[in-house]
Amino acid sequence: DIQMTQSPSSVSASVGDRVTITCRASQDITTWLAWYQQKPGKGPKLLISATSTLQSGVPSRFSGTGSGTDFTLTISTLQPEDFATYYCQQASSFPLTFGGGTRVDLK
Amino acid sequence: EVQLVESGGGLVKPGGSLRLSCVASGFEFSAYAMNWVRQAPGKGLEWISYISASTDRILYADSVKGRVTISRDNAQKAMFLQMNSLRAEDTAVYYCARSANSGLDPWGQGTLVTVSS
């Protein structure tokens, strides 16, 4: 199975800050990497697929980069509605696996 | 609107069974593969099962293999998860999610399964 390691596990930030979350795969997944946002009591929402493809309706302040084993999700200017938990997920092979999550909360 | 709605969760004793349902609307259900993903209380996401659009490919996580069965009814736009021999560690919110765009989208709101005596 492909292990996904996400860091940090939590980050405290202020509105307007730039936030970067990293995700590392235990083996090469080329660009088969997705990012999700989850708010309390809700199902996850797909933000980015194939490493860098922003889903329809997702603000352009979200961006994704990387390839192979190392990937990054960046929120360029944090907004109040962005406080949530973020997960990466590899889509290269089954079983699909997720990173442990990064909680973004208010400093 | 593309939507998935899960149901069937509840409180069950260890060793018991439950059947979860996921009803789809707003898209051509029969054209998409589907998945079940669970989240234990306060924990991360764990994929547990996949079913292709035509049901010719079915996959399970090792953690549930032999105890759960995924199925779908394309005419009813529904997917199911039959869960047997439930354990305390199966306690989680269970989400259904559509395979799309090399990710899972959308997800339902989830249904809570609690395994406890």
Digits of tens for pLDDT over chain B (117 positions)?
999 999 999 999 999 999 999 999 999 999 999 999 999 999 999 999 999 999 999 999 999 999 999 999 999 999 999 999 999 999 999 999 999 878 999 999 999 999 999
Q: In sequence order, what E strands does chain B have? A: 3-7, 10-12, 18-25, 34-39, 45-51, 58-60, 68-73, 78-83, 92-100, 103-107, 111-115
Q: Which residues of B touch A46 (CB under 8 A)?
A: 100-101, 103-107
Cross-chain CB nearest to B101 (options A36, A53, A100): A53
Q: Measured between alpha carbons, how far is B68 from B60 in angstroms, rounded to an integer?
A: 8
In which residue are the tokens 């779908």 written?
B72
**Is residue A43 scored above 80 in pLDDT?**
yes
* CA-based torsion, B56, A93, A51, A36: positive or negative: positive
Contact B101 A55 (CB under 8 A): yes
